[in-house]
A and B are shown apart, each in its own frame.
Chain A
């Protein structure tokens, strides 16, 4: 493998890894607080992408905007739309499917989560196309071009870096910074940490645990929505089942980094992305999805606490 190829794969891996990391944070935050694997989180990511697409559709499907307009008005609006829809969906699932099951045997919320996952996929598949002007949601939908990002690339030496890759990595950096600030510097963020360490004591200290749990779902969903937009820009299209594989990989990333540990999710995502793109380059690409799962199984066997380590793995 020559140097150019190496760097190209590194960039690919970093952008893929950033996507995984953004989604993985959602798994990890929720798991850290209520020890629930939110199996439907991949679908929250998908819903975010559709939310962004909806905003684009509502403003009249503009195709020929000047780049400052596209980059500084349209894109933020689309991200906002995605975040709103994702957060709304996540809060609704928390309220109606998970909260009533708190305290039930562990199997119950997990099965409920599978149900939600299937439900959300099918809901988007069947009903999104009924919106006025919406495309056929049973197929892959081309994601809108954002002038200034889509189709452009940065030439660094011999390596061409797509601007959508840059966007994905920057999105991860910004979101991580925001998350760090939120968790460490705000009162509600501290409450979240306290709850994840000891929910009962946190409640005694006057923390509204229900509100904290809702915030955890909301934060995860918001990041997943950003990932949804980044996915749309990077891959070029979105579809109703894009959350399934992405969710699985992101969960792997969360476990890899140490589930419950937010920094771990970011590290795990990046590592997984890089490993995957190099494995695809060096080995046979038909097996590329297998590697992620092999890594997941190996991590669980040899280092269940993950790379950075956090919660004990067998708390169940």
Chain B
């Protein structure tokens, strides 16, 4: 069957292009009867936003299928893109997206009858397009990633990518209906898959590597602008704050697990130590010490207390390396929780008020700028959560800068050496014990800092916030995202905090899926969503092809990298 079709590759291609073109027309037709389904797909000649998303995917598929006919300069550029794979991804992605839309319409409006013929046609035509692309021969590895381009193009691309991310995140978070949320999520996933297939991400990551400062500034600017997209609503900002606290803590754990390869299963204790320190020192009426210190000092003290705990647990246990550490740290996490519960004046000195914890922590106040109040700025109301969001943004920026500077320093190389082969590292003169201890204390410091802000944002701290499961989630964020990477851990933290928040309907099954995900992840993609190249090799050491690929990538990146930015502080 396939061979017959291959013999008629030209005809198949034409069929695919025609189907894609017809599919584009369907967005001018209504897809649903009811106006309430998704974002009102009931108009003739008035495509809704979600319909336009479908059109984008299909347009990419059409161009990709037609690319074989490009000539001249366009043709030369076209050679760098893996068009056949792009067409497959875009066609099938459009079909999947259309299907998701149809399911959402049926669910929201009650039945398949609520789908207009336009919707069915959209799905069918996308399927034909994708099918046509599927039977055509595949393409070589995309070379787009190695294409040289002027710096301004790269910077522009980074800025555009960041703007798209901001817009998509704001749009996605403002979806009230779960179906809308999922449908747009499908579109985002499809775009990522298409981008990967085309080799666009390879090019973008090279551009990013060339312009690290621009990238980090752009990312920070986007993150800074995020509250302005929320129209004064605190609901999403609260979720964003949880993500940031979680991500900052996970970044600390990332040093320990990702860089040094030590499994810490009681990490939440360090966040807790920071939070309790800040709470006990705060001006709350329930605080037992209540020293009135400036906030930056509190943050530092919290970090120091957490890192002292890290030293306390690390000094005895880091000598017996290996998997004992996992259980000892787990035990330590439990000891921390039990101790916080018992420091209530009955079973021990009263420091934490036992299981009640420290409630009613007052809001922070910087030179008269009260973080608890709504401020009006640039025509937008910015609520309490937005204020704390910016504070947390500063914290996470510090965390990321510390992490990346450490990771690329002599210390960081020592850590990776310990992870890869501790005996060899020691033989090469790496002081393994001191470095491991430093990782423990340093990671704990970052978590403790995050904890101090958490105490103020939550306004209350109690021992039951720091259970084992939270440590497991932190570990999952690091593992899922990609051990040892910054972007991966940010993505992992976002997914793990955002999805449960939005997908309330399967709240009960959350942990079950989480457990299954950890097992599947270890089996099929142990290096995580964003793979650290070296790490990836460790997990697939028998894969010669991958080894060559990674080496090739590293070499080409290095030769293209501007030596000046290479040596500078990278973030």
Which residues of A pack against B, CB within 8 Å?
Answer: 35-37, 39, 96-97, 100-101, 104-112, 114-123, 126, 244, 248, 251-252, 255, 284, 286-287, 289-290, 292-294, 296-297, 300-301, 304, 313-316
Contacts and interface: CB of A to CB of B under 8 A. Distances in A.
A36 B263 CA distance: 14
B321 A114 contact: no
B560 interface: no
A287 B347 contact: yes
B514 A118 contact: yes
Interface stretch (B192-200, B202-210, B245-253, B327-335): B327-335
11 contacts: A37-B323, A101-B523, A104-B522, A111-B263, A114-B475, A126-B508, A284-B342, A286-B341, A286-B347, A316-B321, A316-B322
Contacts of A97: 519, 522-523
Nearest to B515: A119
A36 B324 CA distance: 10
Nearest to B471: A114
Dominant SS at the A interface?
Answer: helix
Contacts of A301: 316-317, 319-320
Nearest to A100: B523
A43 to B, nearest CB: 10
Contacts of B334: 248, 289, 293
B517 interface: yes
B468 interface: yes
B479 interface: yes
Chain B interface category by residue count:
35 or more
A300 B320 contact: yes
Contacts of B511: 118, 121-122
A297 B523 contact: no
Contacts of A289: 334, 338
A119 B346 CA distance: 37
B449 to A, nearest CB: 26
B116 interface: no
B516 interface: yes
A297 B317 contact: yes
A222 B494 CA distance: 41
Interface of B: 257, 261, 263, 265, 316-317, 319-324, 326-328, 330-332, 334-335, 338-339, 341-342, 346-347, 468-469, 472, 475, 479, 508-509, 511-512, 514-519, 521-523, 526, 538-539
Contacts of B539: 104-105, 108
Contacts, number: 141
Contacts of A100: 523
A36 B516 CA distance: 19
A113 to B, nearest CB: 9
Given A111-B263, A296-B328, A297-B317, 20 more contacts: A39-B326, A104-B539, A105-B261, A105-B539, A107-B261, A107-B263, A114-B518, A118-B511, A118-B512, A118-B515, A123-B512, A284-B347, A290-B335, A290-B338, A297-B332, A300-B320, A300-B324, A301-B316, A313-B322, A316-B321
Contacts of B508: 126
B274 to A, nearest CB: 21
B515 A110 contact: no
Nearest to B326: A110
A314 B515 contact: no
B320 A104 contact: no
A313 B323 CA distance: 10
B324 A109 contact: no
Contact of A37 (B320, B327, B332, B472): B327
Contacts of B330: 248
Given A108-B526, A301-B317, A115 B519 contact: yes
A248 B327 CA distance: 8
B331 A293 contact: yes
Nearest to B523: A100
A114 B339 CA distance: 24
A313 B318 CA distance: 12
Contact of B342 (A101, A126, A287): A287
Contact of A252 (B317, B331, B472): B331
A196 B216 CA distance: 51
Given A244-B468, A316-B323, A297 B515 contact: no
B194 to A, nearest CB: 31
Nearest to B519: A115
Contacts of B538: 105
B257 to A, nearest CB: 7
Contacts of A252: 327, 331
Nearest to B478: A111
B319 A119 contact: no
Q: Chain A CB within 10 Å — which of B328, B517, B518, B538 has the most? A: B518
A104 B322 contact: no
A167 to B, nearest CB: 29
A115 B342 contact: no
B180 to A, nearest CB: 28
A105 B521 CA distance: 14
A314 B263 contact: no
B462 to A, nearest CB: 16
Given A110-B263, A114-B472, A301-B317, A119 B516 contact: yes
Contacts of A284: 342, 347
8 nearest A-B pairs in the assembled complex, by CB-CB distance = A316-B322, A115-B518, A119-B515, A118-B515, A293-B331, A122-B512, A286-B347, A115-B519
A184 B295 CA distance: 65
A126 B509 contact: yes
Contacts of B468: 244
B479 A111 contact: yes
Contacts of B521: 111, 115
Contacts of B512: 118-119, 122-123, 126
A162 B14 CA distance: 84
Contacts of A101: 522-523
Contacts of A300: 316-317, 320, 324, 328
Contacts of A36: 323
A108 B516 contact: no
A111 B514 CA distance: 12
B378 to A, nearest CB: 45
Q: Chain A CB within 10 Å — which of B327, B332, B468, B539 has the most? A: B327
Nearest to B324: A300
Contact of A118 (B257, B472, B479): B472
Contacts of A316: 321-324
A110 B324 CA distance: 11
A307 to B, nearest CB: 16
Contacts of B335: 290, 293-294
Nearest to A255: B324
Contacts of B265: 114
Contacts of B518: 111-112, 114-115, 118
A117 B326 contact: no
Nearest to A245: B334
A291 to B, nearest CB: 10
B231 to A, nearest CB: 38
A297 B320 CA distance: 10
Nearest to A285: B347
B258 to A, nearest CB: 10
B234 to A, nearest CB: 32
Contacts of A96: 519
B137 to A, nearest CB: 33
Contacts of A292: 331
Contact of B326 (A37, A108, A116, A119): A37
Nearest to B261: A107
Contact of B320 (A39, A108, A123, A314): A314
B509 A110 contact: no
Given A126-B508, A126-B509, A248-B334, A290 B522 contact: no
A118 B511 CA distance: 7
